[in-house]
């Protein structure tokens, strides 16, 4: 059973901070409009990124079987415009694989968590575990752990499946049949393509 991996690795944080410092050096911060004084914010927020392989989905496994393969770090600047985010792999010498700059770096996750707290998490005991990816079906979702696997929630932020709508929380039990149907369809298409190529080469 996969649980929250705890604090991010120090080397991952150091990789992010070194990159963030270089990034900020290339951008001139804009002063807030009006007489409002900006508060300097250098808080570092980190979310673990779990990946659930498609074969595991076909086998009926869920987020608790996913592996933590990266950490997404957010460094807040004087305003949301100066927020920096990057995703650092836990292997390959903590290589950076994704980055963003500006409000979009945190606003999507922030709004999603606010929606979850308001609509879904009031009546039961849930725990925010991290971000979840199920490539190529779900590019990014929030994983909220319930009291048991049947109560675990996924909250898609980026999904290619029309039946899994962005901004809606699903229990993984409800989402699993949709994911399995799509995963089996992709496997069938791959096998058909491989069969066609093999026949073509045999001619």
Report yes or no on 167 lying in a domain: yes
> How far from 34 is each of 31, 38, 111, CA to CA, in Å?
9, 11, 26
Residue 150 half-sphere exposure toward CB, CA atoms < 13 A: 0
Give the per-residue pLDDT at 32: 40
Is the residue at 120 inside a domain? yes
Alpha-helical regions (H) of the chain: 10-25, 54-58, 104-119, 172-202
pLDDT score at 201: 80
Residue 122 falls inside a structural domain: yes
CA proximity to 2, closest of 60, 57, 51, 70: 51
53 domain residue, yes or no? yes
pLDDT at 56: 93
Q: Give me the pLDDT at residue 5, please.
A: 55
Can you tell me the distance from the alpha carbon of 194 to that of 64, in angstroms, rounded to the nearest whole number?
32
Q: Strands 67-75, 44-51: parallel, antiparallel or unpaired by DSSP?
A: antiparallel
- In a domain, residue 139? The reply is yes
Name the residue range of residue 49's domain: 10-27+39-202
Give the pairing of strands 67-75 and 127-134.
Answer: unpaired
Which residue is it, tokens 């049947």? 150
Name residues of the chain where pLDDT drops below 70: 1-6, 25-44, 76-82, 92-94, 96-98, 100-107, 120-124, 203
pLDDT value at residue 92: 61
User: How many structural domains compose the chain?
Assistant: 1
1 in any annotated domain: no
Q: What 3-state class would DSSP assign to 44? A: strand
Query: Does residue 2 lie within any of the structural domains?
Result: no
Q: What is the pLDDT of residue 110?
A: 73
Classify residue 5: in a domain, yes or no. no
């Amino acid at each position: 059973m996969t649980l929250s991996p705890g604090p991010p690795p120090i080397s991952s944080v150091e990789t992010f901070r070194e990159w963030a410092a270089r990034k900020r050096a290339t951008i001139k911060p804009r002063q807030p409009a009006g007489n409002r004084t900006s508060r300097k914010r250098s808080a570092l927020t980190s979310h673990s990124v779990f990946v659930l392989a498609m074969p595991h989905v076909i086998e009926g496994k869920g987020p608790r079987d996913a592996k933590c393969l990266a950490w997404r770090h957010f460094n807040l600047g004087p305003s949301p415009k100066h927020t920096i985010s990057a995703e650092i792999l836990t292997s390959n010498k903590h290589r950076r694989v994704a980055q963003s700059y500006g409000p979009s770096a945190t606003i999507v996750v922030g709004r999603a968590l606010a929606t979850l707290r308001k609509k879904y998490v009031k009546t039961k005991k849930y725990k925010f575990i991290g971000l979840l990816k199920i490539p190529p079906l779900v590019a990014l979702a929030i994983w909220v752990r319930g009291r048991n696997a049947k109560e675990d929630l996924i909250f898609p932020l980026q999904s290619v499946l029309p039946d899994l709508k962005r901004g809606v929380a699903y229990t993984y039990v409800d989402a699993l049949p949709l994911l399995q149907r799509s995963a089996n369809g992709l496997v069938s298409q791959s096998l058909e393509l491989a069969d066609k190529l093999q026949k073509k080469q045999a001619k």
